[in-house]
Structure 1
Amino acid sequence: MSAINSVTQLRTDGNVGVISINFPPVNALSAAVRDGIHGAMQAALQEPAIEAIVLICEGSTFIAGADITEFGKPPAGASLGEVQRIVEESAKPVVAAIHGTALGGGLEVALVCHWRIAVPSARLGLPEVNIGLLPGAGGTQRLPRIVGVEKALEMMTSGSPVKAAEALEIGLIDELAPEGGLQAAAVALARRVVAEKRPLRKVREQNDKVLAARGQPALFEKFRSANARKFRGLAAPEKIIQCVEAAVNLPIDEGLQLERKLFLELMQGPQSAALRYYFFASRQAWQVPGLPKDTPILPVETVGILGAGTMGAGIAMNFLNAGIPVHIVETRQEALDRGLATIRKNYENTAKKGRLQPEDIEKRMALLTGSLELQQLADVDLVIEAVFENMEVKKDIFKRLDQTCKAGAILASNTSALDLNEIASATTRPESVIGLHFFSPANVMKLLEVVRGAHTSDSVIATSMQLAKRIGKVAVLVGVCPGFVGNRILAQRQREANALIMEGAMPWAVDRVLYQFGFPMGPFAMSDLAGLDLGWNKEKSSSSTLREVLCEMDRRGQKSGAGFYDYDEKRTAVPSQLVEQTIADFAKKKGYSTREVSDEEILERCIYPMINEGAKILEEGMALRASDIDVVWVNGYGWPIHRGGPMFHGDQVGLDKVLAKMQEFERQLGPQFKPAKLLEELAGSGRKFSDLKPAR
C-alpha cells in the first residue's frame, strides 16, 4: 500500500490495483481528490504487476459530486478533464466501484471508467440542473451514449438520481455487488475482464443509442413541449437539451466543445449564481447562532392537534407520514368526523395517483385518533393549536392547555400573524410555547416558520427545528412580529398590487408581469383560486373594498365561475370587461385618477417594497439572515428559485438602485415607501445583504 496524498491510497490485491479515496464527508472532487486520482493512476499504470484498476471510495459514499466551494476560485491541481483522460485512455481496464451516491462529477468520473459496479443501495445521477448548470465534464455526451437519449434527457433535466437496480436495467452500470462486499466484487470483475481479455469499453465510442435518434428532431421538440411548464424561465434545461442534440448529431469531441461552451455561459450567468446561493442558503437556515450544540432535544413521540379543519387535518398528515401518532381534538363531533374523513380522502387520492400503497393508508390512519375532550391531550409530547385566528380564542385555549398538558410538553400555535408572546402570556410556562406556522395546504407545502417567543427555551427551539426535518419540512426560525417574515412581506406586495389597479393597471397586467418574473401566478389569479369570499360576510358587507364589491356581484373566484377574471368550463381565466368597468367606477368613487402604468413600474412597485420590508425585518432581528428570508419566500410563496429570493434579488439589482427607486416612490406616492435604515446604510456603504452577519 502506498499513500498518493492525504486523501488517496493505492494498494494491490493480486494483479489488481485498488485506488481508494477518503475525503469526508462525501468525497467531493476537490483539488486533493483530483490530484490523488491522477497520481494513483500514474503509479498504477507504471506498475507492471498491476493489470487492472479499481476506483473505490471510503466512508459513506462514492464521489458525490464537485466541490461546490471551489466554484469561482482559480483552478488548482489536476483538472477534472486531466483526471478523466488518464482514466479513459488507460491501457489497463478501470472499474468504478460505487456505493452511496455517484452524482455530478462523481458519475462523470465513473462514466470514463471502462466498467461500473454498484451495491443495490447506491444512487447515480447528474443533478447539476439544480444549481443552474449542466453536466460540464462530458456527462451530456456520455450519458445518452449509455442509457439512450430519452432517459438521459429525463435524468439531466430533472436532476433526479436513479437507484442501482434501474441503473443496471438501463445500462448505466454493468453489475450489482452485494452490500458490504463491493470491493471484493469489483476486484473479481476486474480479474474477469483481464482473464477473458475483454476489449476496453469506452463510453465515448458507444454510438448505437445516439445514432438511433439521429434525424428525429421531433423527439426533442416533444420533450420540450411536454416539459414547457416545468422548465419555464430556466436556462439550464434548454442548454442540456441542446447538448444532447449535439451528442446525437455531432462527433463526441465537437459535442464536448459545445458542452463546455454552454456550461461556461451558465456558470457565468445570473441563474446559476442564484441557484448556488440558494443551495447554501437552504442549508444555513437550519443553523441557529447562539444555540449550543449540546442543547437537549425533547422527545416527541405523540402529537396532539386542536382543530380538525383544513389546517389541522393537513398538519396531522405530516406527523402520520413520519410514523408519529396523532390525536385530534375538536369541539363538535361533526367537525371531527369531517376532519378525519378529509385525511383519509387525501390519502386515498394519493394512492389513486400511485404514490401510496393501500396498506400504507391503513397504517397511517391507525396512528390517528380523535375526540371532543381536551383532557385526551394530557400526555402528548407536543400539541399544536390550529383554530380560528382570534387572539381571545387562542389565549383561552392556551390557558386550558397549560392546565391540562404534562410538564415538559411543547405548546405550539399555528398562528400566521398574531403575537405569540401574548398567547404565551396565558400560560405559566411561556418557555414551552413556540409558533409552528404551517402553510396551506399543510400536508403539501414545504415551509415551516418556527416562531421563537421572548421566553421560548433553547430546547424547545432545537426540538422544533429537528422535528421539522423529521417531518420533511424546510424550517426557518423567525421572531415575533405581525405576519412574521413571509406574510409581513407579502402584505407589501398585496398593498401595491391593489393600489396599482386603482391607478390604471388592470389585474391581468399585474399578474402577467409577476408571472413573467417567474411566480407561478399573480396575486389576482391567486385570489380567484383561493376564493374572494374568504373572510367575507354577506350580511356585514359594505362595498368598502373592491373585493367586497366583487363578492356582492357573486364574483367569488374560480368556484363561482367569475372573480377578477371570467372562467370557462375548464377554469381558463379570461380578462373581464365587467371587472374593468367595475374597477374604473370604484376607483373614481374613491377619488383616484387613472393613468397608463408601465410593466417596469408594476414590477418595481410590487418587488422593491418587499425587499425594503425584508431590510426592516433584519433591522429588528426578526430573521437571522437575509438568506433565511429568501428560503421563506422560495418555499412558501412561489418566489422563482432561479432568482434566489427577494433579498438576493435586491443585491443583484443593486441596493443603491432599490433605494433610489423607493425614495422616488416615497416622494410621488407617500410614506409607505419610506426606505429602511438598513437599506440606506448598506446602499450608502456599497455593501449587500449577503455581507451581514447572522443575528443571534
Structure 2
Amino acid sequence: MNAVGTFTVEDGIGLITIDSPPVNALSHRVRVALDAGFRKFSADPAVKGIVLICAGRTFIAGADITELGKPILEPTLREVVDLIEQGKKPVVAAIHGTALGGGYEMALICHYRVAVPSAQMGLPEVKLGLLPGGGGTQRLPRLVGPEIALEVVIKGDPVPAPEALRLGMIDALTEEGNLKEGALAFIRQVLADGRPLQRIRDRTDKTGPHKGDSSVFDAFRRKNAHAMRGFLAPENNIKAIEAAVELPFDAGIAREHELFQELLESTQSAAQRYYFFAEREASKVSDVPADTPVRPVESVGVLGAGTMGGGIAMNFLNAGLPVTLAETTQENLDRGVATIRRNYEASVKRGKLTQAQVEERMALINGVVGMEALQGADLVIEAVFEQMALKKEVFGKLDAIVRPDAILASNTSFLSIDEIAQATRHPERVLGLHFFSPANVMRLLEVVRGAATDKQVVATAMKLAKTLRKVPVLSRVGPGFIANRVMGPRNRQAEAVVLEGTSPEHIDEALYDFGFSMGPFRMFDLIGLDVTGRDSTERTLRSDFLSHGRLGQKQNGGFYDYDADRNATPSPEAAAIIAAYAEYRNVPARAPRSPEEIVADLLYPVVNEGAKLLEEGIASRASDIDVACILGYAWPVYTGGPMFWGDTIGLGKIVQRLDELAALHGSAFAPAALLREKAAAGASFTR
C-alpha cells in the first residue's frame, strides 16, 4: 500500500485500488501508486492477472490539468504506460463513473476494459484546446478504427458505457454495484480461455485497410468544417489520428507528442483551459460560504407562458420538477402548453427523447389561469412583458399570494431588481433569474442579486442552476446586468462604423472571421428590426429601415436582401438608407476599415465595458464576464472571452485605441479608470 493505492490479492488476481479524492486524477501521487502496484504484482509469481479499479465515485477521471506546463515529476505517465504494456500478465481496467482523457487512455493501455452501465468514457481534450497526450490518438484508432476514433476524439463528448461497448471501446458490461466481482470474473475467464496477450499498440486490423487512403479524413473535415471553424485543436487531433493509420506506433506517439506540444504552447489552448476553470469558478460567491443553507425547491411556478416562460418551464420539467404555469387567459395558456409539447415532439424526431419521456414531462405541468394557484410554490419566476410598472404590479400581487418563505424571481433582462423588490413586503426573497433565449437550450443563467437579497436565496439560486444544468453567473443590479451590457458597445459601434462608410457585409465578415457565429447586422436582421428599432421616439438608423418596411429576414429584408431560402446578399436599398441617415446625422465619411480595424473598433469597447462592470461591482470577477459572453453571446471560446482576449492583445494597446476613439467620438469611448490603471502597471484582468 502507498498513500493513494491499495494492493491486494484475491485467488491469484492482483487488485490495484486507487483512492485519490475527489476524482482519482492522474496526479504525481497516483502515478507513484500505479508504478508501485504494477511492479509489485509483475514480480509476484502467485499473481496471474491484474485488475485496476478505483475507490470513490469514479475511475481515473482524467489527467491532473493543474500540472500542465509544470515540471514533470517521476514516474512520468510514459514510464507507467511502458510498465503496464510491457508486463506479461493480463490487465483489466474496471471502470465506473467517468474515465475521461488520461483516465480512458489508462484504460486503453490495459489489455481489457470492463464497465458498469452508468459509466462514461472518452477523450475530451479537444475542449481544452489540446489532444490526448498519453497515446489516446494512437491506441483508439487501432482499437475501433479511424472513423469511430475521429467522432470520439474530435467531438470530445463522453460516451455512455452501453454505446462504448457497441463501438468496441470496452469489452464487457457488468452489473451496477458489482464492478469488482464482474472484473474478477472477466479476467478469470480470460485466464481460463488462455487468451494471448495482445496490446492495442500492436494491432493493425482496424487501421491497415485505411493506410494510404485519406478519404475517411477528407470526408470528416468536409462534414465538420463549420463546427471546427477557427479552432486549432480539431485539426491537430485529426493529424494525430492520421499518424496512427500511416505510421508505426512509436513514430505515431512521437507525432502525437509534437502535435500536443504545438497546442499546449498556443494561446487558444491557454484560453480554453482558462475558460474551463472560469466556468467552474462562476458558481462561487465570495461572501456566501459553500455551507450556506439552501431552501428546498420542489415545486415551481412560472408566470407567463410565452416564448420565455415556456422555455423556462421546460428547464424544470426536464429536471423532474412540477411546474404550475400561469397565464392571464385560457387561450394564452393553451398556446403556451402546445408550444412546449411541440418543442418536445421535435426532440423525439431528432432522437433526443422518447415519446414516453415527453409524456412524463408534460404530466408535470399544471396549467392555470390567474396567480392564485401559485400560492404553494417554493419558487415563482415571472416572465411577463419587459415593463417596470407591470412587473411591480405582478410582484406586489405575488407577494400577497405565495408563502413567506417562497422565492420570487424576475426573468428581466434589463430592469432593476431593487426597484421590482420594492413592490413587495419581503425584498430579501427577491432576485433576478435571467434566462437567455431559447431558455430551454442556452446554458447561461444570470443570477441577479439585489441589495436586499438574502444570502440563502442567492445560495439556493446558484445550486438550482446546477440542477437545471445551467452555468450560473452572479450579477449585481445594473442596466443589462453582465452579458447584455458588456456586449452593448459592440452593437452600437457596428452602427457607428457602418455610417462612416464600411458596409454591413464587411463588418459582419470581420466578426465572423474573428469567431462569432454571425456578425451584428445578420443578427439584427434575424431578430427583427421591429424588435429593436422601436425603443425611441427619435429618428434612428433602424427606425429609418422600418419606415421603408424593412423588418429583417421576416419582411422585405433589412441590412441585407434575402431570397426564398433566406440567403443574404448585399442590399443597394439598405446602402441608400444608411447613406441618407449618415447625411442626416452629418457623419463624415472615411475609408472602409480593414478587418483588423473593425475588430478593434467593435471589440475593444467591450473590454472597456467589462472594466466598468468590475469597477462598479456588478461583476465580481473578470472571468465571470468571459463566461457570460461566451455562453450568452457565443463569443468564441478559443479566445477565452473578452477580458482574457484583452489581456492577450495587450491592455496598453487597447487603451491607446480607445483614447483615439474618444478624441474622435467623445468621452463614451474613454478608457475606464481600472483599464487605464492595469495598462499602466503592465497588469492584466485574468492572469
Q: Same fold (TM over 0.5)?
A: yes
Check if 1:480 corresponds to 2:464. no
Give the Cα separation in 1 of the matches to 2:198 and 2:415. Answer: 65
Q: Which residue of 647, 651, 659 maps to 1:651?
A: 647
Quote how far apart the aligned CAs of 1:561 are.
4.6
Deviation readout 1:626-676 (Å, 9 max, x if unpaired):
101111011111101111111111111121221222122222322111111
Which deviates the most, 617-626 or 171-180?
A: 171-180
Give the Cα separation in 1 of the matches to 2:346 and 2:107. Answer: 40
Check if 1:434 corresponds to 2:431. yes
Q: 1:541 to 1:679 in 2, by over 3 A?
A: closer
Give the Cα separation in 1 of the matches to 2:625 and 2:537. Answer: 36
Which deviates the most, 392-401 or 328-337?
A: 328-337
Q: Which residue of 275, 280, 290 maps to 1:278?
A: 275
What code does the residue aligned with 2:327 have?
E
1:678 alignment partner in structure 2: 674
2:242 alignment partner in structure 1: 245
SS of the aligned residue for 1:690 comes to: coil
Give the Cα separation in 2 of the matches to 1:519 and 1:127. Answer: 23
Q: Which residue of 332, 338, 342 maps to 1:345?
A: 342
What code does the residue aligned with 2:667 have?
P
1:255 alignment partner in structure 2: 252
Q: Which residue of 551, 554, 560 maps to 1:559?
A: 554
Deviation readout 1:144-169 (Å, 9 max, x if unpaired):
11111110000000111222222222
Q: Which residue of 574, 580, 583 maps to 1:579?
A: 574
What code does the residue aligned with 1:78 have?
P
Check if 1:292 corresponds to 2:321. no
The alignment's C-alpha RMSD in Å is: 1.6
Q: If the length of structure 2 is used for normalisation, what is the TM-score?
A: 0.97
1:74 alignment partner in structure 2: 71
Which deviates the most, 190-199 or 227-236?
A: 190-199
SS of the aligned residue for 1:571 comes to: coil
Deviation readout 1:233-270 (Å, 9 max, x if unpaired):
11111111111111111111211111110000000101
2:98 alignment partner in structure 1: 101
Aligned residues: 686
1:616 alignment partner in structure 2: 612
Structure 2 gap ranges (5+): none
Give the Cα separation in 2 of the matches to 1:14 and 1:541. Answer: 81
SS of the aligned residue for 1:436 comes to: strand
Deviation readout 1:100-141 (Å, 9 max, x if unpaired):
221111111111112222222222211111101111111111
* 8 Å Cα contact 1:115/1:201 also seen in 2: no
1:316 alignment partner in structure 2: 313
1:114 alignment partner in structure 2: 111
SS of the aligned residue for 1:528 comes to: helix
Q: 1:28 to 1:329 in 2, by over 3 A?
A: same
Q: 1:509 to 1:409 in 2, by over 3 A?
A: same
Structure 1 gap ranges (5+): 692-696
* 8 Å Cα contact 2:117/2:174 also seen in 1: yes
Quote how far apart the aligned CAs of 1:541 are.
9.0
What code does the residue aligned with 1:297 have?
V
Q: Which residue of 88, 95, 112 maps to 1:91?
A: 88
2:184 alignment partner in structure 1: 187
Check if 1:50 corresponds to 2:39. no
1:694 alignment partner in structure 2: none
Q: 1:381 to 1:185 in 2, by over 3 A?
A: closer
Check if 1:268 corresponds to 2:265. yes
SS of the aligned residue for 1:689 comes to: coil
SS of the aligned residue for 2:149 comes to: helix
Give the Cα separation in 2 of the matches to 1:598 and 1:178. Answer: 61
Q: 1:535 to 1:497 in 2, by over 3 A?
A: closer
* 8 Å Cα contact 2:414/2:481 also seen in 1: yes
Give identity over the alignment, percent. 53
Deviation readout 1:456-503 (Å, 9 max, x if unpaired):
001111111111111121111100011111111121111111100011
Q: 1:243 to 1:289 in 2, by over 3 A?
A: same
* 8 Å Cα contact 1:12/1:50 also seen in 2: yes
Give the Cα separation in 2 of the matches to 1:394 and 1:500. Answer: 36
* 8 Å Cα contact 1:561/1:568 also seen in 2: no
Give the Cα separation in 1 of the matches to 2:243 and 2:474. Answer: 46
Quote how far apart the aligned CAs of 1:338 are.
1.7
* 8 Å Cα contact 2:549/2:556 also seen in 1: no
Q: Which residue of 443, 446, 459 maps to 2:443?
A: 446
Deviation readout 1:165-203 (Å, 9 max, x if unpaired):
222222222222222222233233333333443221100
Give the Cα separation in 2 of the matches to 1:77 and 1:265. Answer: 23
2:233 alignment partner in structure 1: 236
* 8 Å Cα contact 1:126/1:156 also seen in 2: yes
* 8 Å Cα contact 1:533/1:556 also seen in 2: yes
Give the Cα separation in 2 of the matches to 1:189 and 1:522. Answer: 56
Matches within 5 A, 1:191-590: 191-534=188-531, 544-590=539-585
What code does the residue aligned with 1:309 have?
G
Quote how far apart the aligned CAs of 1:542 are.
7.0
* 8 Å Cα contact 1:465/1:475 also seen in 2: yes
2:33 alignment partner in structure 1: 36
Give the Cα separation in 2 of the matches to 1:67 and 1:535. Answer: 47
Q: Which residue of 586, 601, 613 maps to 1:591?
A: 586
Q: 1:455 to 1:124 in 2, by over 3 A?
A: same
Give the Cα separation in 1 of the matches to 2:325 and 2:53. Answer: 50
Quote how far apart the aligned CAs of 1:94 are.
1.8
2:683 alignment partner in structure 1: 687
Give the Cα separation in 2 of the matches to 1:236 and 1:420. Answer: 42
2:661 alignment partner in structure 1: 665
Matches within 5 A, 1:632-643: 632-643=628-639
Give the Cα separation in 2 of the matches to 1:178 and 1:365. Answer: 32
What code does the residue aligned with 1:313 have?
G
Q: 1:140 to 1:673 in 2, by over 3 A?
A: same
Q: If the length of structure 1 is used for normalisation, what is the TM-score?
A: 0.96
Give the Cα separation in 1 of the matches to 2:161 and 2:596. Answer: 50
Quote how far apart the aligned CAs of 1:82 are.
0.6
Matches within 5 A, 1:15-34: 15-34=12-31
Deviation readout 1:58-83 (Å, 9 max, x if unpaired):
11111110001111111112111111
Deviation readout 1:379-425 (Å, 9 max, x if unpaired):
21111111111111111111111122211111111111111111111
Q: 1:188 to 1:358 in 2, by over 3 A?
A: closer
